Structure 1
């Protein structure tokens, strides 16, 4: 069983179901509304836990009701929240609009996530883990500090470079695996001045939405894993499901291409359900899909 430490964001999502996403200045009536746990860090932590990993979460929430909701939900998913700090800032929130085709737009208020940092006890948790999983909804200095802690301890560091932000060569050189979509890969390549991101990161995973994902390893060819054809209900959180499942598989010692297959299957299951955390599949469901 793999041990995954997630340093990241925790939000509460407020999700509106719409026939179509409104244009600027336009008002569109929603056909439904739901409140659910979200945030890239929390989503990925839950995905890793449901995929079979033992997960610890390092982050921050407010002392408000959304903070209570987040803490209770993480505990329910069996995630260690002993390093989830309660701070004066409000818990992070997101407003999500989902159209009839399952596409979405998202507005995020960082709130408590902007206060996430790495303490000595957090470094110990990272050192005791097989995999560290990071995203970019927390301060960049925290991302770098956590990645360096993982490098020092020999823990595999995976960075999901989303939402997109300028990244220094120092950050990229501090991680073992980079997970990006096609747009993020192109932008990072341009900003870093390299044609191939594997010049900076040994392993790069490029997610392709409904087309699956690609594995780029330094000195090796490209491996493409297609996604099964499914009916998309809501794509919210699919990328996070992919990352969490991938981290869990890597922590178990799976070869990168096998971990990629596992993660693609998990993400394909998630898009067939509504919401972020509510859509994340269990290990049994992923194994069934692969079988």
Structure 2
């Protein structure tokens, strides 16, 4: 089982041929309200990729979106016994998706901003899991507290990009940024150089490169480049979350790095073929079929 300590948002998604520039108004093609949030997305990705479930730790508001967010996690097989309800709004993400599958996102934390750190009950769930997945849509103090208290490997998706405290990096086993986040952390725009810089901070790193695949390295000396799976993208919003969730599952199953990375890359490719975030996560059967 994989534990996820993170955010749950309701995504308000506008689909448009071309995203507006600053000060510009464009006519959209369609609109959807879709459960999301990087934490919830990774929980659904892990649950579907494993077939054995995942546990989500976080908070939603007592508004109309809260029950919908809970239901989306439960429907995917995620344990929501540690999902708290707090007064006020749930997290919200305003997302614009263009016809090339690109997106821009504004996140309003809502209930996510009330999370202060894992409780003893949360830590019991984490201790029974194979890994803990973290992102940066919760307050940094809460993320640091969860990482430092975890007794299992910690996988960090450093998004949205921001300065990472040393005490967080000291507790991370594997970091999984995209190339823009890796550049923001290291100051290196070349993925190879950024990878080496990340390995000075954490034991293992994967940098996802979109249509160019991903690169992986470890302090033990392993270096891998994994090509992306060719696919016509419809919505790339949650590709990174699909990758992280599936990668955590593959590692928990003891797969060697090349196989684990191919599994994760395939999950990410399948996710971008469908609109939405959590709703786009592929099942274990879909991933296995695509790998045959």
Q: Unaligned stretches of 5+ in structure 1?
A: none
Contact 1:233 1:272 in 2 (8 A): yes
Q: Any idea what SS the aligned residue of 2:160 has?
A: coil
Q: Any idea what SS the aligned residue of 1:224 has?
A: strand
Query: Which residue is 2:154 aligned to?
Result: 157
Mapped to 2, the partners of 1:194 and 1:28 lie a distance apart of 39
Q: Please list, as runs of the form range in 1=range in 2, the aligned pairs for 1:9-24 lying within 5 A after superposition.
A: 9-24=7-22
Q: Unaligned stretches of 5+ in structure 2?
A: 189-193
Q: Please list, as runs of the form range in 1=range in 2, the aligned pairs for 1:87-106 lying within 5 A after superposition.
A: 87-106=86-105
Contact 2:8 2:40 in 1 (8 A): yes
Contact 1:215 1:257 in 2 (8 A): no
1:189 aligns with 2:186: yes
Q: Please list, as runs of the form range in 1=range in 2, the aligned pairs for 1:124-203 lying within 5 A after superposition.
A: 124-150=124-150, 153=151, 155-190=152-187, 196-203=197-204
Q: Any idea what SS the aligned residue of 2:176 has?
A: strand
Contact 1:245 1:266 in 2 (8 A): yes
1:4 aligns with 2:2: yes
Query: Which residue is 2:68 aligned to?
Result: 69
Q: Cα offset for 1:177? A: 0.4
Q: Cα offset for 1:222? A: 2.0
The alignment's C-alpha RMSD in Å is 1.5
In structure 2, relative to structure 1, the CA distance for the partners of 1:287 and 1:195 (3 Å cut) is closer
TM-score (norm 1): 0.95
After TM superposition, the structure 1 stretch with the greater mean CA deviation from structure 2, 99-108 or 181-190, is 181-190
In structure 2, relative to structure 1, the CA distance for the partners of 1:195 and 1:247 (3 Å cut) is closer
1:50 aligns with 2:62: no
Cα deviation code 1:155-178 (max 9, x no counterpart): 111000011011022211111000
Mapped to 1, the partners of 2:81 and 2:142 lie a distance apart of 18
1:36 aligns with 2:34: yes
Query: Which residue is 1:241 aligned to?
Result: 242
Q: Any idea what SS the aligned residue of 1:121 has?
A: helix
